[in-house]
Amino acid sequence: MANESLGLPAEVSAYLRRVGVREHPLLQRLRDETRALPEHDMQIGPEQGAFMAMLVRLMGVRRYIEVGTFTGYSSLSVALALPKDGRITCFDVSDEWTRIARRYWSEAGVADKIELRLGPGIAGLDGLLAEGAAGTIDFAFVDADKGSYPAYHERVIELLRPGGLAAYDNVLWGGAVADPSDTDHDTESIRTLNELIASDTRVDLSMIPIGDGLTLARKR
């Protein structure tokens, strides 16, 4: 089974997904379609999609942004949980993968809530800031190029409203962050982000071992 939460035995993961997640039929179909791609492991797991949808409902999120959309699983999970007037802005560099996402958004009837901006996430977030979106975002999910994570953090903090939530994916990086012999650029960048947030007094912090590790940082 792909995208299992780190270290969870396969049979426990299967059990969790059977009784702990009510996956929308379209999300199931998107997972099946994405499985055919060599990059399918980039997709978040169903328990993480359900968790993000739960956060959206608990927080009453109306304005969600996402860096790293791929075939659309996280954005569709959130879109299905948003209120009628909820709005999403997605950033991704891939037209090919997000074309799949757009097809599912349409089929789910949520396409009118979602704006996709193709291009690098840093420029995308800078664009939002230039449009005056600072302090307006309820929930930001960062799941793109790991080398830019620290740079994303500064922009995301500016964009969030007080009480808004940033979520960073892959913060445990398959466990590599805890292996001092791993000095790969992406690993180092995720370590930098983790240390940065650990001592960032602008946010409340909870890193949770769902998927490949998810850091929740709530702007104070």
Ligand X SMILES: C[S@@+](CC[C@H](N)C(=O)[O-])C[C@H]1O[C@@H](n2cnc3c(N)ncnc32)[C@H](O)[C@@H]1O
Which residues of this protein are in contact with ligand X, per CB under 6 A? 42-44, 67-71, 73-74, 91-94, 97, 120-121, 143-145
Closest separation between CB of residue 35 and ligand X, Å?
12
Closest separation between CB of residue 209 and ligand X, Å?
18
What Rg do the C-alpha atoms of the chain give, in angstroms? Answer: 16
Question: What is the three-class DSSP state of 54?
Answer: helix
Closest separation between CB of residue 101 and ligand X, Å?
8
Spatial separation of the C-alpha atoms in residues 134 and 89, rounded to whole Å: 14
Token match 């969600």: residue? 64
Based on CB atoms, which residue is closest to ligand X, 94 or 162?
94
Based on CB atoms, which residue is closest to ligand X, 47 or 92?
92
Q: Going by DSSP bridges, is the β-strand pair 63-67/137-142 parallel, antiparallel, or unpaired?
A: parallel
Token match 């980039």: residue? 42
Closest separation between CB of residue 31 and ligand X, Å?
9
- Pair 126, 50: CB distance under 8 Å: no
Based on CB atoms, which residue is closest to ligand X, 74 or 189?
74
Residue 156 token pair = 């995301």
Residue 205 token pair = 């912090």
Based on CB atoms, which residue is closest to ligand X, 138 or 212?
212
Based on CB atoms, which residue is closest to ligand X, 5 or 74?
74
Could you tell me the sign of the dihedral formed by the alpha carbons of 31, 60, 165, 16, in that order? negative
Closest separation between CB of residue 91 and ligand X, Å?
5
